[in-house]
Structure 1
Amino acid sequence: MDYSYVFLILLLPALTFVLLGLAGMKMSHKTAGLIGTCSLAIITVLCYYTAFEYFLVQGRDAATGLYPTVTVFDVTWLKFSELLTFNIGFRITPISAMMLIVISTVSFMVHIYSFGYMHGEKGFQRYYAFLSLFTMSMLGLVVATNIFQMYLFWELVGVSSYLLIGFYYPLHAAVAASKKAFIVTRFADLFFLIGILFYSFYVGTFNYDLTAMAPAQAGALQQASWIMPTALFLMFIGGAGKSAMFPLHIWLPDAMEGPTPVSALIHAATMVVAGVYLVASLFPLFIEFAPQALHWVAYIAAFTAFYAAAVACCQSDIKRVLAFSTISQIGFMLVALGVCMPDPELGKVAMTEEYADVNGLGYMAGMYHLFTHAMFKACLFLGAGCIIHAVHSNEKMYMGGLRKYMPVTHWTFLISCLAIAGIPFFSGFCSKDEILVACYNFSPVMGVIMSGIAAMTAFYMFRLYYSIFWGKSYYETHKAEGAHQPHEAPATMTIPLIVLSAITMLVGIFGTLHVFEFGEFVSANGIGFGTHTNWAVAASSTILALCGIALATYMYKGEETPVADMLAKKFPRLHEAAYRRFYLDEVWMFVTHKIIFRCVSRPLAWFDRHVVDGAMNFMAWGANEAGESIRGWQSGDVRQYAVWFLTGAVALVLICICL
């Protein structure tokens, strides 16, 4: 196949960023927006065409039945030695082809949506320049041919998020949120870099593929079994920072200070899914060298999913509810990857024919959920933007009854809520049930825990839905006081909602029908793994989702919420703790200020000022004093020089005579 055009997928957004960044202020808002959006439209077409060529035209390898890895180009960028060589290239795999579709689709919808949402904003051109940089960074990350290239674009993703989260830089909260996101993710990226250095030093390459590894490196890995698990888990910590896994999740809720379309892009298609993609890219290495590390990924992700779901049940800011929902759903994806290996304590051997389906199902389920989640979560965030645009507040107390005033937003939001809840004929049902089946295959305890979290997801999402669209209308109860009347968003904002909800519906309908008709789950990434339908899991998860929706309906559908108010008063400490995110921010503030700053940074600063600087200052003082003491010797007086010369000559003669 001829993939010679794919370099444009990275070149076009880079050129758009440079053009809008340098000349954007000389353009009108409309011109800058059109340039950014048209560029993304071309990129989207190229991404879809690449995926079409890869999946449908080229197809599976006849010998293996799997989609091959295609390296379109791989050029040497920097070469310091045979080992220390940095390459830049373009690599297509099933998951990277899927990610090209996800990133381009969501980013294109965000570009269109921003025409309406960001209309009249100061820095409109700068905003579109940053969007192009963000998109280019994530596209470069998923097509990287080696881990170092991934790290390069990984850091560009971090820079882009910093710029966009802090877009409203005159606001202190936005600046603080952007710095918080940057510092937390940089802290995690330090471990990622250390892991890369471990990996490259012992393996002798930055590539994902170890088939060409030298015999010396292979022998070293066999003798030191701790090397690869350590390197891979360190790299996972970097992914945990990007994907907001506990306890590195604290930056993501505050990232809501950025424009809402940016939140949709971060949560659906770029930053937070980078960690999932990292683990998926390194999956063969985890399978072969670090299955226990993969289990720990699942345990950490499962706890994160539960924690985030519990916090989401008590939030009042609608964007923060969606933020914690994203954290929980990312946890689902990483759990799916982490449970791919059967538990060795049960005596099961990994990658045998008997358990091949178990391994394949978890990997496929995680990637499939990444795809479905991107569409309905982008729709939810963009819908939240329409709501905020209408009521001028993030707090649900200023909403209520909006279904009468915002019908398009209402129906698209409802479709996305049904999808994330896991109701049949919506996309979330197919992907989330695959994850639950993989969890039950790994461990019944893990399956029960994740099923419970799925029920919590249905509850808090419909709590949000009813509070926004069915609760007591703030406008109707305060219009006499001059409350602003809500209104539907313009077409530039509602069309992306319709497109994303349509994708959610179509994927859900065809995926669910495939389950019912053929007894197999659908794989969105084309890995080639599948499993027979577990009807017990499918039925129980659907019942749990319906129970969660029913409980939310009972507690929040009416204009008054007596049951919810009673529970909040009966358990005030628990409610306050969940609302305050179980005080994790306060814990981090204590750790950083009382322990790191006071016990580590201050002693180091004292040592730097008094010992390091003192030593340097003493040396400078000593040199100065020595110069002052002998400066008289260079007076320019010939008579003085003659005296010193004769005195020295006499002294030397006397010394020679004595010796």
Structure 2
Amino acid sequence: MSYLYLTVLFPLIGFILLAAGRNKLPESVAAIIGVGSVGLSALFALIAGMGFVENGSVAQVQHLWTWFNVGGLAPGMSLHLDGLSLLMMGMVTGVGFLIHIFASWYMHGDEDFARFFSYFNLFVASMLLLVLGDNLALLFLGWEGVGLCSYLLIGYYYQKPENGFAAIKAFTVTRIGDVFLLIALFLLYQQFGTLHIGTIVANAPQVLAGDHSLAIWTSLMLFLGAAGKSAQIPLQTWLADAMAGPTPVSALIHAATMVTAGIYLCCRMFSVFEMTPEVMMFISITGAVTLIVAGFAALVQTDIKRILAYSTMSQLGYMFMAVGAEAYQAGLFHMLSHAFFKALLFLSSGAVIMAYHHEQNIFKMGGLFKHNKFLFACFAIGGGALAAIPFLTIGFFSKDAILGAVWAQSHIANLPVYNSLYWVGVAGAFLTSIYTFRLIWVVFFGKENTPYHEIKGATYWAPLGILAVLSTGLAYFLKAPVEAILNSAKIPAFIIPEALEAGVHGAEYTAVGIALAGLVVGVILFAFAYKAVKAFAETSFGAGLVNICRNALGFDALYNIVFVKPYLLIAKILGRDPIDGLWLVLPAIVKGGHSFTSSRQTGSLREYASSMSLGVVVLLMILIVIQVVGK
């Protein structure tokens, strides 16, 4: 336990050294600092975890110092270790370390190598602060830290304006979610008088029972904050554009850090959400809508990284469905399994991109199977886990548990809406199988359109090999330990009544069958009938459908009309400072009067006499009118 602070300190020191050295450091030194700092963090996370288990899995707090003390609010720089934070810490440092190793190979030769790893180290340190903080103020500090790092890394290639725009978009959209989270923190402090997570979780049933409407607003603000970080509708538009950064960045954001923060927050604050069943249902509905929209979007993308980005959005939808159905442990286990296979897929895609000279369009690749069977094996395992191939992959054991729990919740709570959500989840699994097969088939067995470039190096294949093993069905043996440590953290387990067990198994088998059917459909469409698919896509109806799906149902266009254009119009108007312009009216009147009276000074006696006569006539008329009105 005494080593816990070192898990955060080492990446932070790595950031400081790399940021200070920047281009002065040789690439080899920068790689040792960047990768080594996260490696040491992972090592001390392992030591802290072993000590936690040896001490009976009892939650512990390491208080470092008091952050500030204002009006009785005195959050500490305190690290909290329980089963949930241990799971998150292990995932962040373990998967993050493998991604760092791969990044040292992928970024080799980059002129800003040290700058890249300084951001990478700060990203890991911020995420660790987020998951280990024992109060919501410290959690929010880490929350904003990962937001900052995502901006810096997505816009890493800032020389291209479109990359800068993608970084700004990610920063702006996630800041909207952060405002909601900040409101939730204010509401929680108002009701509990503290931001200490343990106190809030323990006392939520008593404190929030008094005012249900306030409890609803608090839960809703918490969820909207989580939705921003975890890219759920309506705050999902940033995630696909985040692919502008280097591929290891995509792996770190999608697998080990930022997007998992929302799931962590919802599970950590479970007792607050459970006081508002309406919000719980809303969370599941939001996850279901997100996963189906993302599934259709992934089906037609041509950029290899955008396909995987939309698949991440879809898998996060499953996790939020689990949270809304009170199956927290199922959602967290899927989060862990997703970290393994999504890191594998993103890093493998990075290797594919390198092999094809930084080409990202899958239809400009092709024929990779005959050149690199190791990459094919990695993609097949990762894709199989994504599509939840039964028994062979970890995805089967995590995703189907969520669908089974959602189906069971419809009967336990007697809410038919969860049964509908189950079928939406099954439809999402069907789409996942189709677009996963499409991706693998086109890249590895399609026509070779770009010459293959040989790739090699232990820092390339070792992380992929480890992640490939963790993505297979062998990782099923992690399920029991994960459940044990989550139970020690008092994260509620989803209990299926004995009378529903047969039905749950039937629901899971149905989901597996439909996912396999999707795989068969993918084989038919892209291996045997691709010409027909292409012909349909070239029809007016097909082209329109493809365009709608490619743009993820047009949320960006909608937001552009509703928010961006009005904002730019207002900014244009205010840019001319209309308030300041109003004050110019008075001097304009004075100036105009001066010009008029000056123009009357002609020096002509005839004009002066005429003006005086006209004035006398006007005065007489005024006097006559006054007299008439007075009578």
State TM-score, norm by structure 1: 0.81
**d(CA) in 1 for partners of 2:399, 2:209:** 37
Q: Deviations over 1:449-503 (max 9, x none)?
A: 111111211111111111111112214xxxxxxxx33334433112111110111
Q: Specify the alignment match of 2:89 in structure 1.
A: 100
Q: Which of 40, 54, 59 in structure 2 is aligned with 1:57?
A: 54
Equivalent residue number for residue 317 of structure 1 = 303
Contact 1:48 1:100 in 2 (8 A): no
1:578 aligns with 2:549: yes
Contact 1:424–1:508, Cα closer than 8 Å, also in 2 = no
1:527 is matched with 487
1:379 maps to what in 2? 344
Q: Find the partner of 2:287 among 296, 301, 304.
A: 301
Q: Which structure 2 residues correspond to residues 42-441 of structure 1 after superposition, within 5 A? A: 42-54=40-52, 56-59=53-56, 68-73=58-63, 75-82=65-72, 84-210=73-199, 221-287=208-274, 289-340=275-326, 362-391=327-356, 392-425=358-391, 426-441=393-408
Instruction: Tell me what 1:453 maps to.
Output: 428
State the Cα distance separating 1:601 from its structure 2 match: 4.9
* Distance across 2 between alignment mates of 1:176 and 1:390: 28
Q: Give the direction of change, closer, same or farther, for the CA distance of 1:535–1:266 in structure 2 (3 Å limit).
A: same
Q: Which letter maps to 1:4? A: S
Change (3 A) 1:557 1:46: farther
> Residue 368 of structure 2 contacts residue 452 of structure 2 at CA under 8 Å; is this kept in 1?
no
Is the partner of 1:527 in helix, strand or coil?
A: helix
What letter is aligned with 1:541? Answer: A
Structure 1 position 568 matched with structure 2 position 566: no
Q: Deviations over 1:52-87 (max 9, x none)?
A: 332x32335xxxxxxx432232642100121x2222
Q: d(CA) in 2 for partners of 1:584 and 1:19? A: 41
1:191–1:234 contact (8 Å) kept in structure 2: yes
CA distance in 2, matches of 1:114, 1:618: 64
How big is the shift at 1:541?
Answer: 2.0
C-alpha deviation, 1:232, in angstroms = 2.2
Distance 1:370 1:235 in 2: 19
Aligned partners of 1:199 and 1:228 also within 8 Å: no
Cα distance 1:390–1:75, how it changes in 2: closer, same or farther (>3 A)? same
- The answer for the alignment partner of 2:628 in structure 1 is none
Specify the code of the residue in structure 2 equivalent to 1:377.
K
Percent pairwise identity: 32
Decide whether aligned partners of structure 1 residues 453 and 27 sit closer, same or farther in structure 2, where only a CA change above 3 A counts. same
> What is aligned with 1:63?
none
Q: CA deviation at 1:37?
A: 1.0
Q: String of CA shifts for 1:229-251, please: whole Å, max 9, x gaps.
A: 21221121111111111121111
State the alpha-carbon separation in 2 of the partners of residues 4 and 612 from structure 1. Answer: 60
Q: What amino acid maps onto 2:83 in structure 1?
A: P
Match of 2:486, SS state, is: coil
The question of whether the paired residues in 1 share the 8 Å contact of 2:404 and 2:505 is answered with no
- Say which SS state the counterpart of residue 451 (structure 1) adopts: helix
Query: Contact 1:409–1:488 at 8 Å: present in 2 too?
Result: no
Give, in whole Å, the separation in 1 of the partners of 2:41 and 2:482: 27
Are the counterparts in 2 of residues 371 and 524 from structure 1 also a CA contact under 8 Å?
no
Aligned residue for 2:302, secondary structure, equals coil
**Equivalent residues in 2 for 1:462-541, closer than 5 Å:** 462-475=437-450, 484-505=451-472, 507-508=474-475, 510=477, 523=483, 525-527=485-487, 529=493, 534-541=504-511
| 8 A Cα contact 1:390 1:489, kept in partner | no
Within 1, Cα distance between the matches of 2:456 and 2:151? 28
Judge conservation of contact 2:178–2:228 (CA < 8 Å) in 1: yes
Contact 1:439 1:447 in 2 (8 A): yes
Any conservation in 2 of the 1:368–1:524 contact (CA below 8 Å)?
Answer: no
Structure 1 residue matching 2:198: 3-state secondary structure? coil
Secondary structure class of the residue paired with 1:573: helix
The letter for the 2-side match of 1:588 is: Y
Q: CA separation of 1:209/1:228 partners in 2, compared to 1, >3 Å: closer, same or farther?
A: farther
* Deviation readout 1:288-316 (Å, 9 max, x if unpaired): x2222121111111100110001100101
- Report the Cα distance in structure 2 between the residues aligned to 1:325 and 1:471, rounded to whole angstroms: 21
Ranges in structure 1 where 5+ consecutive residues have no aligned partner? 61-67, 341-361, 476-483, 515-520, 620-659
Alpha carbons of structure 1 residues 105 and 235: separation in structure 2 relative to 1, 3 Å: same
Between the two proteins, the alignment pairs up a number of residues equal to: 566
SS across alignment from 2:75: strand
> 1-side partners of 2:223 and 2:350: how far apart?
32
Q: How far apart in 1 are the matches of 2:35 and 2:485?
A: 27
Change (3 A) 1:259 1:318: same
Say which of 13, 18, 21 aligns to 1:20.
18
DSSP-derived class of the 1:557 partner: helix
Deviations 1:143-199 (A, max 9, x none): 110111111110010001111111111111211111111111112211111111111
The residue number in structure 2 matching 1:628 is none
Change (3 A) 1:490 1:554: farther
Tell me how far apart the structure 1 counterparts of residues 201 and 305 of structure 2 sit (CA, whole Å). Answer: 47
Aligned 8 A contact 2:92 2:124 in 1:
yes
Q: Secondary structure at the match of 2:454?
A: coil
1:618 Cα deviation after fit = 9.6
Give the secondary structure class of the aligned counterpart of 1:71.
Answer: strand
CA distance in 2, matches of 1:277, 1:219: 23
Greater shift in the superposed pair: 157-166 or 186-195: 186-195
Between the aligned partners of 1:431 and 1:618, the Cα distance in structure 2 is 72
How far residue 572 of structure 1 moved from its aligned partner, in angstroms, is: 2.3
* 1:329-382 superposed Cα distances (whole Å, 9 cap, x missing partner): 011101100011xxxxxxxxxxxxxxxxxxxxx111000000000000000000
Q: 1:153 to 1:489 in 2, by over 3 A?
A: same
Query: 1:202 Cα deviation (Å)?
Result: 2.3
Q: In the superposition, relative to structure 1, how do residues 31 and 146 fare at CA in structure 2: closer, same or farther (>3 Å)?
A: same
Distance in 2 (alpha carbons) for counterparts of 1:213 and 1:114: 42
Report the Cα offset of residue 427 of structure 1: 0.3
Partner letter of residue 15 of structure 1?
Answer: I
State the alpha-carbon separation in 2 of the partners of residues 114 and 149 from structure 1.
29
Distance 1:504 1:602, change over 3 A: same
CA contact (8 A) 1:44 1:104 kept: yes
Please list every run of 5 or more consecutive structure 2 residues that lacks an aligned counterpart in the other structure.
410-417, 588-631
Query: 1:377 and 1:97 mapped to 2: Cα distance?
Result: 20
How far does residue 49 in structure 1 lie from its aligned partner after superposition? 2.4
> So what's the TM-score if we normalise by structure 2?
0.85
Task: Name the amino acid aligned to 1:568.
Answer: A
Aligned CA distance change for structure 1 residues 462 and 273 (closer, same or farther; 3 Å): same
Distance 1:613 1:98, change over 3 A: farther
Q: In the TM superposition, what is the alpha-carbon distance from 1:511 to its structure 2 partner?
A: 6.5
The 1:175/1:199 distance shift into structure 2, 3 A limit, reads: same
